[in-house]
Structure 1
Amino acid sequence: MRVLVVEDERRLAAALKRGLEANAFTVDIVHNGSDALWTAAQRPYSAIVLDIMLPGLNGYKVCAELRRGGVTTPILMLTAKDGEYDEAEGLDTGADDYMTKPFSYVVLVARLRALLRRGHAAPALLKVDDLVLDPGSGTCKRGEQEITLTAREFAVLECLVRRPNLVLSKFEILQQVWDEHYDGDVNVVEVHVSALRKKIDQPFGVRSLETVRGMGYRLVGRAE
């Protein structure tokens, strides 16, 4: 699940990125309102975490402009402005939730997942044969057996489960799961796919996660 964080305080933005990535989110960051509007129009996001006190366009104006433009992505305002009128204005301009700083990462993640369950950004469950992913809770099962995945493994698997039986290249998976500034070895995808096979296939005697030589990877099976 890809989240856009709009936060002008760079240290906090970096901390938000680390905290959300530890909970299976892929995070893009911008630091002002104009960049937020442009970036939100370039690709679909599961949610937007939006500060109010931004240089240029403030968070209220960004939220209102996104809604006027037909963007329905869930928006959580995260701000130091803690007055009741501030919160009311944020919700009135189209935000779905409002949190004040300082905040708890546990609560932030829970609220984001709640927004995803309520909204249209992610289905409640993703199923291919007996493999079941719950993007809202970050859990994975095959049949009744729970499977423990790292945050990055879950994100790679979710990418494949959302497009069952289609071949995704390493580059496509990198774009979806790693942030846009990643410039490391693309074979990191191969490492995570190999780890996934050992968890979702081998213990159950199945071969659902396939390598298509020279092209990429696909998860085969009947999707629901």
Structure 2
Amino acid sequence: MRLLLVDDQRDLADGLAEGLRHEGYAVDVAYDGGTALARIADTDAELMVLDRDLPVLTGDAVCRILREQGHPVRILMLTAAGTLDDRVAGLDLGADDYLAKPFAYVELLARLRALARRGRTGGPVLESSGVRVDTVRRVAERDGRPMRLTPKEYGVLETLLAARGGYVTVDELLDEVWERGEERGRTVVKAAMHTLRRKLGPPDVIDSAVGHGYRIEVGA
């Protein structure tokens, strides 16, 4: 998958680009907003990591212009301003996700994987079968009933909804939700799935299939 990385901190941008290439991404780099717009017009980038504070054109301006043009690139916006109001403002501009600096590299990778699955139609609110997740505020509800979820339960639910009816394997759930160094394995996924199902309540909307994983059917 081709990715455009836009950040004026050259050492950071070059380091991230190198790491992402090792992860299998085809990475182009731009150091200012003007170059970013020119570069994306010449590439078929599906993902963009976009710093908000850029020279020439700000990240906000780049994001706004791309959305006005109807460009389908999925945008993960980076910024040092990480308050809830900042995140909401970035998403309102048309960004698909928002990550505050400083960030953990593993979280950046997880969010990029989620965007790659979700596509532009997913948006910051994921919803299916009466289950709704607001990925900005990180809250979930079932048929209008707020749910109190642990971070792992929330991560599993968001990952399943982001797959938009597709199966998510146990290994994919571990990569998305569990950090390296944590206890990892089928047992922890099974335990989180059990408590998540209980909190969702009947009827059960999570389908499982041996050899495929778990999913929430679209419109089930």
TM-score by length of 1: 0.56
Find the counterpart in structure 1 of residue 86 from structure 2. 111
**Partner Cα separation in structure 2 for residue 35 and residue 173 of structure 1:** 27
Contact 1:76 1:98 in 2 (8 A): yes
Find the counterpart in structure 2 of residue 185 from structure 1. 184
Partner of 2:207, secondary structure, is strand
Corresponding pairs, count: 162
CA RMSD of aligned residues (A): 3.7
Find the counterpart in structure 1 of residue 14 from structure 2. 34
Cα gap change, 1:91 to 1:65, in 2 (>3 Å): closer
Structure 1 counterpart of 2:56, one-letter code: D
Structure 1 counterpart of 2:12, one-letter code: N
Contact 2:134 2:140 in 1 (8 A): yes
Q: In the alignment, does 2:26 pair up with 1:61?
A: no
Find the counterpart in structure 2 of residue 157 from structure 1. 157
**Partner Cα separation in structure 2 for residue 140 and residue 132 of structure 1:** 6
Instruction: Mark the runs of 5 or more structure 2 residues left unpaired by the alignment.
Output: 61-76, 97-121
**Partner Cα separation in structure 2 for residue 91 and residue 62 of structure 1:** 5
Instruction: Mark the runs of 5 or more structure 1 residues left unpaired by the alignment.
Output: 9-30, 45-58, 78-86
Cα gap change, 1:153 to 1:76, in 2 (>3 Å): farther
Contact 1:114 1:136 in 2 (8 A): no
Contact 1:210 1:217 in 2 (8 A): yes
Contact 2:208 2:215 in 1 (8 A): yes
Correspondences of 1:67-82 after superposition (within 5 Å) = 68-70=38-40, 73=48, 75-77=50-52
Cα gap change, 1:60 to 1:111, in 2 (>3 Å): farther
Contact 1:169 1:217 in 2 (8 A): yes
Question: C-alpha deviations, 1:36-93, integer Å up to 9, x for none?
Answer: 224456579xxxxxxxxxxxxxx9827776555426636345xxxxxxxxx6xx2534
Cα gap change, 1:197 to 1:169, in 2 (>3 Å): same
**Partner Cα separation in structure 1 for residue 78 and residue 196 of structure 2:** 36
**Partner Cα separation in structure 1 for residue 175 and residue 32 of structure 2:** 25
Contact 1:127 1:161 in 2 (8 A): yes
Cα gap change, 1:146 to 1:170, in 2 (>3 Å): same
- Structure scoring higher RCO (CA < 8 A, sep ≥ 6) equals 1
